[in-house]
Amino acid sequence: MEEALLRAVLFGTPILLAGLGALLAERSGVVNLGVEGMMALAALTAFAAAQAYGPLPGVLAAFGVGALSGLFLGLFTVTLRANQFVAGLAVAALGLGASGLLGKRYEGLPLAHPLPEGGFALLGAVLALLVHLFLTRTRTGLFLRSAGENPKAVDLFGVSVDGVRYLALGLGGGLIGLAGAYLSLAYRPSWTDGMTAGLGWVAIALVILAAWHPLRALLGAYFFGLLFFLQFRLQGSVPIPSEAFAAMPYLLVILVLALSGRSRAPKALGQPFERGR
Amino acid sequence: MVLAGGDALKLAFSMPFRVVDVTSGLLLLAFIGAEAASRHRLVWRR
């Protein structure tokens, strides 16, 4: 039982960190479907930087690359007001492809000084609380939430909606970068192409499951972590093909999303803001 | 359509799938960038 809970937390941590990043963007009104690619690129950057300069610069580099890729997504979704879903899918494909191509020289290399998984798990839980406090107790958080609910009100207040959305995408991208750093520096201290294994998509589902609430995202991420743990634990012990177990967490994600139909999305989610329209 | 076309390229010509991913991503960004530019009536002037 204790092992199951511990593994649930460790499996759930990258989903939590990436989910918090996507949540920040979505609370400001921008759909971020690029999480998978951003995570992969950050995981590679973290590993490469850790090889050259050590693990902590690796974490910072992953945060930076995540933030930059969030701002890159903002260029299309906020400034150009392009379709947020297509832009997100493009960033996901670009991130996965670029990390796979650039990371070939790092495949199979061990990491000399991996970081403790527990440290990242603690960081994830603390960040969930901090994101909650930021959104509910700070003036900037209030503007961020308002940009996702009623951007015209933010604009009337004299605050730049685009600026608030860039801030959310940058900060959120940084958190997604931390999820990538966890994968390549702590969880599996190495770099392999495709090591994100669909966790970015699960993180997007987590945001909907958690009804855009950071503390519910914490619990939801550990729930998904438990599902991933059960997938590995039950393989071999039950006469069911391993492929069925591999599909189990994703099938349950669909089921959970279908059942959580009452969840409430920010009103201006996915809508580009144009002054005067 | 671009993503599906990329998948078809992977299968038909055994192209390295990460190359196809990068190309698909860039093509999608080019398409939506061009669409946004046309919406804002941006034109290329020589």
* Residue-wise pLDDT tens digits, A31-87: 999 999 999 999 999 999 999 999 999 999 999 999 999 999 999 999 999 999 999
Tokens at A218, concatenated: 């914490």
Contacts with A, B 11-40, CB within 8 Å: 16-26, 28-29, 31-33, 35-37, 39-40
Please name the amino acid found at residue A225: G
B22/A80 Cβ within 8 A: no
Instruction: State how far the Cα of A80 lies from the Cα of A72, in Å rounded to an integer.
Output: 11
Is the interface score ipTM higher than 0.95? no
Assess if residue A277 is contained within a domain: no
User: For chain B, first and last CA: distance in Å?
Assistant: 32
* Residue-wise pLDDT tens digits, A16-33: 999 999 999 999 999 999
Assess if residue A265 is contained within a domain: no
Assess if residue A268 is contained within a domain: no
Assess if residue A266 is contained within a domain: no
Q: Does A192 touch chain B (CB under 8 A)?
A: no
Instruction: State how far the Cα of A80 lies from the Cα of A40, in Å rounded to an integer.
Output: 25
* Residue-wise pLDDT tens digits, B9-37: 666 766 777 888 888 889 899 988 888 88
Q: Cβ distance A184 to A46 under 8 Å?
A: yes
pTM, 2 dp: 0.89
B3, B31, B32: residue with CB nearest A93 = B3
Assess if residue A264 is contained within a domain: no
Residue A127's domain spans which residues?
A: 2-259
Assess if residue A270 is contained within a domain: no
CATH number of the domain at A66, please.
1.10.3470
- For an interface test with A, the pick among B3, B7, B28 (most A C-beta atoms closer than 10 Å) comes out as B28
Domain count, chain A: 1
Q: Which of A115, A87, A119, A95 is nearest to A44 (CA)?
A: A95
Please name the amino acid found at residue A157: F
Q: Which residues contact A240 (CB under 8 A, 6 or more apart)?
A: A234
* Residue-wise pLDDT tens digits, A220-275: 999 989 888 887 777 767 777 777 777 777 787 788 777 766 567 899 998 888 87
H/E element, A232: helix A214-234
